[in-house]
Amino acid sequence: MDFSATSVWTLTKLYIRDPAQAARIVMAAHLPMNVSILMIVLSGVMSGVMAAVTVALYGVQTFELNMPDGSVQVIEQASPLTTGAVSALLGVIIAYLIHWVGRRSGGQGELPQVLAVLAAFQIAMTVLSVLTSVINIAFPFIAFLVVIFVVVVTVRGLIFSVKEAHLLDGVGKSVMIILASIFVLFLGLMFALPVFALLFGGLV
C-alpha cells in the first residue's frame, strides 16, 4: 500500500464517500502492526504540529473553571508536545480497546487488521483536521459548517471502520463496541490521570 501524499488524499476522499470500502482496501493491504502503530504516532505528531501553529497564531489559550467553593481555577492549553504525545498514546490505546472489546462482543477481527484499519482512519481524519484548521484561519465564517461536516464524517467513518475490521453484519454492534471501548478508556483514565499529571505536568 502506497502512502504517498496522493494516495493518502485519495484514501481520505474515499473515507468521506465510502468508509466501508476504504476499510476493506486497508485490510487487503495486510499492513504489519509496527507500520500501523507508526501511522497512529504520525497522526499524534501532526496533532502536536497543529497545536504549535495554533499557539503561534493565537497564543496559549486559557480556560476558567468555576470550582464548587466559588473560586476560579485558570487552566492553560496543553503544550504542543503534550498534545502530540497524548494524541498518539490515546490513538494506540483506543485501537487496542476496540480490538479487545470487539473480540469479546462477537467480532472476528485480528489485532493487526483492526490496528491497520483504525490507523488509516486516523491518518485520514488528521488530514481533514488540518484542512479544517486552514479553513478556520482563511475563511472563519464557514468554519462552523466545516466542523459539523468533519464530525459527521468522523463518526460515520469510525462506525464503518469497526464494522469492517471486525467483520460484523450490521452497524449496531459496531456502535456498541465503540461506546464500550470509550467507557473502558474513561475508567482507565480516571485511574491513570493522577500518575499522568505527575509525569507530564511540567510539560503542560
Q: Cα dist. 183→27, 34, 57 in Å?
A: 26, 26, 35
Amino acid at 95: A
Model confidence at 73: pLDDT above 70? no
Return the bridge partners of 64, or none: 74
Residue 108 dihedral angles phi and psi, to the nearest 5°: -110, 0
Owner of C-alpha cell 490515546 = 90
Q: What is the DSSP string of 107-132?
A: ----HHHHHHHHHHHHHHHHHHHHHH
Which residue(s) pair with 62 in the sheet?
Answer: 76
- Cβ count within 10 A of residue 167: 14
Task: Give the mean model confidence (pLDDT) for residues 168-176.
Answer: 92
Structural domain boundaries of the chain?
A: 5-203
Note the pTM of the prediction, 2 decimals.
0.82
d(CA 165, CA 174): 10
pLDDT tens digits along 122-167: 999 999 988 888 888 888 888 889 889 999 999 999 999 999 999 9
What phi and psi values does residue 107 have, to the nearest 5 degrees?
-75, 155
**Which secondary structure element, helix H or strand E, spans residue 66, and what is its range?**
strand 62-66
Query: What's the pLDDT at 47?
Result: 83
Torsion sign (Cα): 85, 89, 94, 99? positive
Count other Cβ atoms within 10 Å, centred on residue 45. 16
* Closest C-alpha among 5, 91, 86, 4 to residue 48: 86
Cα 50 to Cα 43: distance, rounded to the nearest angstrom: 11
Q: Would you put residue 92 in left (φ > 0), alpha (ψ -120 to 50) or beta? A: alpha
pLDDT band, residue 204 (cuts 50/70/90):
very low
d(CA 17, CA 180): 26
Least confident of 41-55, 73-87, 143-157, 162-176: 73-87
